[in-house]
Amino acid sequence: MLTLEQSTKFKISKFINKFLLPFLVYFSLIIVFFIIFYTVFYSTFKQQEIINITIISFATLSILIAYKQITMNADLQRRQLALIGVKTITESNKKHRDEIEKLIDYTNIFKNATTNSKPLNIYEIQNILFEHDSNGELIGKGNHIGEPYKFSEDGKLIHSHIIEILNNFETLAIGILNNVYDETIMKEYFENIIATNYIVYQIHIKYLREYILNYDKYCENFEWLYYEWNKEKKPRKSKR
């Protein structure tokens, strides 16, 4: 999972961009118009002072309008990137799932996990990925550091396709976390997909972290996004 500091930074950035900055822009516009109105109708200032205040007010207004235009362009760009991201991630995941389907009964595994909330357990993952001897026992360690057993030929392919699928979801989460994608569009399209896929892959991710990749932060952004969009399901942190 992301650290509390990283998650807090994301929430603060989201609050500033969506609520605080728009509020400041519109509040500043009201102040500018109020100054102009008061200066013209009620002020006892001299003519030159009125001109100076008016110039400053319109300069401020111009800056605010320019800023608003910049933010609107940035929002438009994020929406466009989000639509591209939706298409790219969807097509990529479908391609890798189709390849896995050729090797194992992936559809039923996926349906069972999402319908019954029973993702693959560690033993099922081992049976899918690794080679067995004539007695049905898993064969020794592989050559790669961290591999607990020897990959079967099909297992290597399945493993590579699953890694690509998980990497796609990790990329999606990183894009949202860093404000590259428009979160509203991504959430509307991917909220259920993220939820169901995390259910399927959560134990697989844990297994990859502990035994194969030996990297405990693998897919932490994907994991964070699942809990960010499903906050009621977030487990309490254990005290250390």
pLDDT in tens, 191-226: 999 988 888 888 888 888 888 887 888 999 999 999
State both tokens at 156.
Answer: 């290597």
Across the chain, mean pLDDT equals 77
State both tokens at 169.
Answer: 């979801």
Q: Please give the Cα distance from 105 to 175 (Å, whole number).
A: 32
Are 159 and 129 in contact by the 8 Å Cβ rule? The answer is yes
Within 13 Å, how many C-alpha atoms sit on residue 228's CB side?
26
pLDDT in tens, 111-165: 776 666 667 777 778 888 888 888 878 887 655 555 578 888 888 898 899 999 9
Q: Which residues contact 36 (CB under 8 A, 6 or more apart)?
A: 53, 54, 57
The residue length of the chain stands at 240
State both tokens at 164.
Answer: 């690509």
Are 139 and 133 in contact by the 8 Å Cβ rule? The answer is yes
Q: Identify the pLDDT of residue 7.
A: 58
Q: Please give the Cα distance from 172 to 166 (Å, whole number).
A: 10
State both tokens at 90.
Answer: 């969807």
Residue 17 carries which side chain, given as an amino acid letter? N
φ, ψ (nearest 5 deg) of residue 130: -110, 160
Whether the pTM exceeds 0.85: the reply is: no
- Domain limits of the chain? 4-233
* Rounded mean pLDDT, 97-103: 87
Give Dmax (Cα) for the chain.
100
Q: From residue 155, how far is each of 92, 150, 161 by CA, in Å? A: 20, 9, 10
The fraction of the chain above a pLDDT of 70, given in percent, is 66
The fraction of the chain above a pLDDT of 90, given in percent, is 20
On the 0-12 / 13-18 / 19+ scale of CB atoms within 10 A, 133 is exposed
